[in-house]
Every structure is written in C-alpha cells, then in structure tokens.
Amino acid sequence: MAFSRALSALVLALPLLSVSALRTKRALCPDGVNSAVNQACCALFPVVADLTENLFDNECGDAAHGALRLVFHDAIGISPTLGGGGADGSIFTFSTTELTFHANIGIDDVLDQVGPFITKYADVLSPGDFIQLAGAVSLTQCPGAPRIPFVMGRPQPIAASPPGLVPEPFDNITSILQRFGEVGFSPAEVVAVVGGSHSVAGADDIVPNQQGVPFDQTPSLFDTQIFVDVLLRGTNFTDGQGAQQGESETAVAGTVRLQSDGLLARDPRTACTWQSFVNQQSQLSTAFGQGVTKLSLLGQTASKLVDCSEVIPKAIAFTGGAATLPPGQTLQDIQASCPTAAFPKLATQPGPATTVSPIPQATDS
Ligand code: HEM
C-alpha cells in the first residue's frame, strides 16, 4: 500500500517534470555551442549527439526499438514484495544474472549495441540514467512519438532484479495486469505503454529463423496502426509451430502478433482502451509519454533527480496518414471487442495484398 501511495504521489508530481514547463533562462555551456538552463545538463549534449548519430543512425530502426525495449526491461524489475531497484541500470551492471531470465530474450543483442555507450559515458551518467536517456532519445527518432522528460541522478544499482518480474508474451492478461498493477499501472496505462511501444517494434528472437518481424505495418512510425492490425482476424504467435519461415500467422503478411497484444486488444478489461486509440494519435502519444515517464522513475526518488529534459531533441511531428485496413479487408475482418463503443470507420488500402518488409537489423550493413 505504501508502495502504491508513493507511486501515486510521484505521478501527481510528473507534471512538474513536463518539458513544456521548463524555466527559460538559458546560459551558454562550456562547449560554446549549446546552452542550458541547468549547467549540470551541459555534459549530456555530446552524449545525445553521439547516440543519435552513432547508435540510432538518425532513424527509428532496430537500434532505437531496442533502446526503448531496454527502458522497460530495466524499469519493471521491481516489486513491493520481492524487491529490485526498478529503473536503476541493473540489467546492464548485473547482466550475467538478468540475461538468464527467459523474458529478457534478445536483450543481450540490445546490450551489445547500447553497452559500449554506457561504458563510454560512465563518468557522466549512471547505467540507470543512461538507459532512460537512450530511451527518451530513441523516441525522438520516431515520427509521431512524444518528447518525454529526462531526469538525471539515479544511483548505481546495488543488485540484480529478482527473477519473474518482466511480463512474457504467453502470460495471461490477469497476470500481466497484476504485474503492472503492483508497480502502480492501471489497465488503461498498460494498454498505452504496451500498444504504443509495440507500434515501433518487432521480434528479433522469438520467431524461429527470422529477425526484425514487425508487430504492425508501420514499425518506423509511432502511430495507431498497431491498434488495428492486432484486432484483425488472424492468429497470435504461438510457439512457432504454426508458422513456416516467411509465413505470417497474422492477417497482415510479414508481421507477427504477440499473444499478449492479441489478448490485451480483446480482453474485457482492456479492449475499450485499446480500441479508443485507433486514429487518436495525440491521445496515444500523450498517454504513452506519461506511461514511459512513469516507468523511467520506478524505484527512484523523483525529488532527488535533476531535470535535464532540455537536452532531449525535438519530437518529429507525425506526418503519416490515418490507420487503414490492409488491401482486401473490411471492418468485417476486425474483431471489435469493446461493447460500449462502435469501431471507428476505416478506409481500406487500395491494390493487391502486400507483405510488410522486415526491419533491417542494426548489425546489417
Ligand atoms: C505485457 C508486456 C510486454 C510483453 C509481453 C512484451 C513482449 C515483447 C516481445 C516478446 C518482444 C519481441 C522480442 C524479440 O523477439 O526480439 C518485444 C519487443 C519489443 N517491446 Fe515489448 N513487451 C511488453 C511491453 C513492452 C513495453 C512496456 C515496452 C516499452 C515501453 C516494450 C517495448 C518493446 C519494443 C520497442 C520492442 C521491439 C524491440 C526490437 O525491435 O528490437 N514492450 N516485446
């Protein structure tokens, strides 16, 4: 109870961290190029530039997706009963333990990419800060994604997360909602963080023999297409038994649907929120931004952290179109699951059915 009361207080404090609420008196940084309201933040400008150029290659691709996933897998490692430090960087510092957790499949590849940057800037940022900074910067690579706050000062992690705290794609919705619930997330917040993040995501490891299999038709756009694609008739990814290489089990060829996403979209506790995001870009962006900010503070004392949101680059405005149905599909193909609201009308893409291309891997040249 005390834990969730503390979290509620923290969430009430979140608007104080709002990027738009920054004080405005900026002074030149020692580099003579950048300026900051808080001079303690000056050291982060070169880190952000390095990440943007050399980790993300200025795109919403595999490396940006991996950095966002890392935010979650580090932060969720906390429980009021089992302990753990939350967004503390333990997934990096205690990787020999945490990478043995089944739910962290593929995080080894992400750490292979992000880890050298964490080490390079170890005198500037703790691992916990670095992971959250990389996640916030990754979002600024993805058109439509929010610009979220970044606060600095997370202490070094002291231990590995206990096992079993990261939700898995074959967990049922009761257990997923319970897991998020014990760290203060409502079912609506779960839908926002899971659906929003999976709009810029794909599977590198869980589909046998395939990498970069997108979760929706537009994996390099933070948009609401995933909320349509996941509701189309078609099957969830099971264990690979149903899919041959190159085949899709979903209604959208080339994509894969996590069972947990498919169930969240249809469960009575979450279906109406899921549907409510269809073509509501700014509603999704705001709810997702608040949810990820909340994740970034799990296990941390917000009042002890320094607001360096000013180093986060501008968001890229959403220029994509409305969410649509794939060629040949109609609203009859949507498994609308919210009994209290009609499913929004959607246009069908013209032309013959297409296959969504895989997401190029960060290691591809
Ligand atoms: C019920 C909760 C969740 C489950 C079960 C889940 C599960 C998964 C799985 C199985 C993958 C594919 C892993 C692979 O094969 O490489 C994945 C990818 C991803 N997830 Fe989640 N996830 C959840 C919530 C979240 C949240 C809250 C975030 C971020 C805030 C997130 C961000 C991502 C991203 C960005 C990817 C793509 C990574 C890449 O393309 O390299 N996920 N998720």
pLDDT band at 277 (very low <50, low <70, confident <90, very high): very high
Q: Do the domain assignments include residue 329?
A: yes
Question: Does residue 132 sit within a domain?
Answer: yes
Same domain, 61 and 186: no
Q: How many domains does the chain have?
A: 2
Write the residue with the smallest CA distance to atom 31 of ligand 1: 69
Query: What tokens were used for 355?
Result: 């296959």
Q: What are phi and psi of 198, to 5 degrees?
A: -75, -5
| Higher pLDDT among residues 204 and 234, named by residue | 204
**Using CA atoms, how far apart are residues 117 and 140, in angstroms rounded to an integer?**
18
Let me know if residue 349 belongs to a domain. Answer: no
- Per-residue pLDDT at 16 exceeds 90: no
Q: What was the pLDDT predicted at 244? A: 40
One domain for residues 144 and 179: no
Shared domain check, 183 and 144: no
Q: Are residues 123 and 27 in the same domain?
A: yes
Judge whether 360 lies within some domain: no
| Owning domain of residue 203 | 173-280+320-333
CATH of the domain at 72: 1.10.520.10
Confidence of residue 364 (pLDDT cuts 50, 70, 90): low
**Other CB atoms within 10 A of residue 123 CB:** 6
Q: Is residue 162 part of a domain?
A: yes
Q: How far apart are CA 265 and CA 169, in angstroms?
A: 13
pLDDT at 13: 47
CA of 168 to the centre of ligand 1 (A): 9
Q: How far is the CA of 24 from the centre of ligand 1 (A)?
A: 36
Of the chain, the end-to-end C-alpha distance in Å amounts to: 50
The DSSP bridge pattern shows strands 213-214 and 35-36 to be unpaired
Mean local confidence (pLDDT), 142-147: 98
Judgement on whether residues 64 and 190 belong to the same structural domain of the protein: no
**CATH number of the structural domain spanning residue 326:** 1.10.420.10
Residue 165 binned pLDDT confidence (cut-offs 50, 70, 90): very high
* Ligand 1 pocket, CB under 6 A: 62, 65-66, 68-69, 71-72, 106, 167-169, 176, 193-194, 197-198, 200-206, 258, 260, 292
Catalytic residues, by residue number, are 73
Q: How far apart are CA 241 and CA 348, in angstroms?
A: 31
Are 18 and 162 found together in one domain?
A: yes
Residues 80 and 24 in one domain: yes
Greatest pairwise CA separation for the chain in angstroms: 61
271 contacts 338 by C-beta, under 8 angstroms: yes
Q: Is residue 84 part of a domain?
A: yes
Residues linked to residue 152 through DSSP beta bridges, in sequence order: 306
User: Is 339 inside a domain boundary?
Assistant: no
Same-domain pairing of 123 and 204:
no
Residue 81 included in any domain: yes
Q: With a cut of 50, say whether residue 153 has pLDDT above it.
A: yes
Residue 302 has pLDDT above 90, yes or no: yes
Which ligand 1 atom sits nearest the alpha carbon of residue 66? 41
Instruction: Determine if residue 135 is labeled as part of a ligand binding site.
Output: no
Query: What whole-number distance in Å separates Cα of residue 329 and Cα of residue 308?
Result: 46
Residues with Cβ within 8 Å of residue 135, at least 6 apart in sequence: 67, 68, 70, 71, 292, 296
Same domain for 137 and 189?
no
pLDDT tens digits, one per residue of 220-267: 999 999 999 999 997 766 544 444 433 345 689 999 999 999 999 999
- Output the average pLDDT for the chain: 91
Per DSSP, which regions of 111-243 are E strands? Answer: 151-152, 202-203, 213-214
- Ligand 1 nearest atom to the CA of residue 109, by list position: 41
Is 88 marked within a binding site?
A: yes
Q: How far is the CA of 69 from the centre of ligand 1 (A)?
A: 6
Do residues 51 and 128 both lie within one domain?
A: yes
Q: Would strands 27-28 and 213-214 be described as parallel, antiparallel, or unpaired? A: unpaired
Q: Which class for 209: exposed (0-12), middle (13-18), buried (19 or more C-beta within 10 A)?
A: exposed
* Residue 27 token pair: 């002074």
Task: Quote the Cα angle for 279-284-289, to 5°.
Answer: 160
- Tell whether residue 4 is among the known ligand binding residues: no
Query: Is 220 marked as a binding-site residue?
Result: no
pLDDT of 186-198, one tens digit each?
999 999 999 999 9
Residues 138 and 157 in one domain: yes
Q: Residue written as tokens 């499949």?
A: 105
63 and 155 housed in the same domain: yes
Average pLDDT over residues 174-191: 98
